[in-house]
Structure 1
């Protein structure tokens, strides 16, 4: 095992351990890139790279200029991780949530609420103590920074309210929804559920460029109000992985379940951290457009759910501060996740209940007295692959000595955030990259 001496890495031990590879002619640079095909390196869980010895944890951060915006960013991250935890505990499969899109939707709902309903929403969204009147402007500022780089990151998202036909929405609330949260409103005739579902699904396709489809099943004919969210991420790493270096490798879904997946490859300088308390490594992969992905890989003897349970907004910020640059070869599976959720029951586990009940007060929307929320639908899609355009340094850097290799070949978490504000954008869990 690699070891750390005091606060400094034992570099010699690191090189001896991690570069225990043959030095014959077949390991020259041209073949080193493709050595896995030749059978020279295999990465079962027991041989996975130990990250402990790679790292020297250091602090490196910049303070956001606006304390109020910083506070909202942190609280959004807290809510996003809590929501992710509530969803992930209900399934053993892949998970993906666009937490930023859901925050926008629920903040828009907060703008419609009054009285105890509003107070409960503030508490459930971890926003207690903040002025509800200032939140739309703050979120608009935060969202503008995210959207500025989203064209390169290729984030497409949408938020919409779908009240039942005959329920009026005030012009002031419509303006709030559109200008502050980028949302829209459309009344639907739920008495004919298939037609209502078609209208919502068409909306989802439009806001995501046809990437999110079949957002909702046929809704309840008694529906009063639906809140719908859709998001699609086409992740573009910068620097990129090169398709020509991708090759099929084993991914260990479980002790007795192995799948073959396309494993991307790049050799470069990466930022890395290690959480000793959770026994998990954290790799930062920069994305085009000012975002980044954290890949959280538990040690081979650590169950991924034990790491998930400890992920908070504060924990993510700590990981980011502890990142340390190191030379590294990275193998990451190509994957595509597409997940759909009905979140009413999930939100109720987070103590957001009254808005769904008969005594809900969402009168700021301007609708009929007694209006309540029926359901919250969310569908998100993320595609992680090599870039077709590899002109921005795609491929592999050449080092004078062979760097350590990190192969992500067992279940892992990933977190997408905007680097300038550190706003949490999305979270996911990859149990099986060969399955959506």
Structure 2
């Protein structure tokens, strides 16, 4: 009997979640993902080009801002960030826990983020707020003089380059000399798929940007068992590509002839969760283009469409930042870089499984959406759209 009990106990342990998540932290993860999906839809609706942004990185900056606000400004910001019902006083500690859960081990080496709050030098920022930003949100507070805009631009660009590397040289190009407060966030991810694609199987293939525009792209290939779902309501297939670091990518391909924007309009936090739950393992040949996306955004106008307005106005209350009266947020800057390529170049190592009969092939040869999340928590890391893989 004892060996049976031991075996049952072991099975229970193996089938239980790897880590229990505090309900309040889980609520913050879900609400951040909800806001991230809303923000993505707002950004994507303004362009036909490639899109990539990091809701996770942006949430650090927006929550640091939330901690600086008070009164009606804070109330509206809570609502705009879909955080209604959460206690603003406990959010910094919850975000710190969230960050440790979402960025475990190897993922933290493949995913790099940076966040800074840049108040004008004439604003007296308290030491306690500076410590809060540093310890809870892993960011910095750096006072700047905006009287000479070119010098302020140079300072911020040097900061992001020092934090993130040479790919992040130009976060800003211009600056309003009336600027009082800026939030800057940045994120970069090098995907590491597991199972990996092998570069020896990559070959140039056609990618149909639209019905009139075709480009040749390096198309990666792998045959394996993958998790796949189909959403008949939006007419799109959803493929899961696991990563070696505990993250995963959902790649959403509309049916041929279905406009990508009609799919994007339906991408909500609830829809993403539904897709994940509907995934089923199947034998599949996958062709995915190699791509590098690099995008910068000024988000003031977009955030205002999401009902985050008061903090940008003259009656904004950011008094929790220090002895500050009459100051407002001027702009939120964000830059993301995502690299998707082969992780295996050794031709002696198999880059695909061998099946007795060739399985169906799924080829991403037209515009698609991708969603990168941390599997254990389902924390949303990146969202993007690939319209043309040959463009950044």
**TM-score, with length taken from structure 2:** 0.93
CA distance in 1, matches of 2:55, 2:308: 16
Q: Which residue of 343, 353, 361 corresponds with 1:397?
A: 353
CA distance in 1, matches of 2:379, 2:347: 29
Secondary structure, aligned partner of 1:240: coil
Matched, 1:173 2:126: no
1:428 alignment partner in structure 2? 384
Deviation at 1:371, TM superposition (A): 1.4
1:83 alignment partner in structure 2? 39
1:299 alignment partner in structure 2? 255
Matched, 1:364 2:316: no
Taking structure 1 as reference, are residues 376 and 387 closer, same or farther at Cα in structure 2, changes over 3 Å only? same
Matches within 5 A, 1:18-417: 65-149=21-105, 151=107, 154-388=110-344, 395-417=351-373
Q: How many residues align?
A: 377
Gap regions ≥5 residues in structure 2: 1-14
Deviation at 1:388, TM superposition (A): 4.8
- Report if aligned partners of 1:112, 1:365 keep a CA contact under 8 Å in 2: yes
CA distance in 1, matches of 2:381, 2:348: 24
Taking structure 1 as reference, are residues 79 and 221 closer, same or farther at Cα in structure 2, changes over 3 Å only? same
- Report if aligned partners of 1:240, 1:393 keep a CA contact under 8 Å in 2: no
CA distance in 2, matches of 1:339, 1:376: 14
**Per-residue displacement from partner, 1:371-424 (whole Å, max 9, x unpaired)?**
110000111111111115659965111112211111100000000000000001
**TM-score, with length taken from structure 1:** 0.84
**Per-residue displacement from partner, 1:64-109 (whole Å, max 9, x unpaired)?**
5322222111111110000001101110111111111011110110
CA distance in 1, matches of 2:258, 2:46: 20
CA RMSD of aligned residues (A): 1.8
Gap regions ≥5 residues in structure 1: 1-59
CA distance in 2, matches of 1:428, 1:400: 36
Secondary structure, aligned partner of 1:162: strand
- Report if aligned partners of 1:153, 1:236 keep a CA contact under 8 Å in 2: no
**Per-residue displacement from partner, 1:257-298 (whole Å, max 9, x unpaired)?**
110000000111111011111110000001121100000000
Taking structure 1 as reference, are residues 76 and 184 closer, same or farther at Cα in structure 2, changes over 3 Å only? same
Secondary structure, aligned partner of 2:48: coil
**Per-residue displacement from partner, 1:180-214 (whole Å, max 9, x unpaired)?**
11010111111111111111111111221333220
Runs of 4+ in 1 over 3 A off after TM superposition: 60-65, 149-153, 388-394
Deviation at 1:166, TM superposition (A): 2.7
- Report if aligned partners of 1:153, 1:291 keep a CA contact under 8 Å in 2: no
**Per-residue displacement from partner, 1:312-364 (whole Å, max 9, x unpaired)?**
00110111111101111100000011111110000000000000111000111
CA distance in 2, matches of 1:178, 1:391: 45
**Deviation larger for 178-187 or 383-392:** 383-392
- Report if aligned partners of 1:96, 1:339 keep a CA contact under 8 Å in 2: yes
Taking structure 1 as reference, are residues 132 and 391 closer, same or farther at Cα in structure 2, changes over 3 Å only? farther
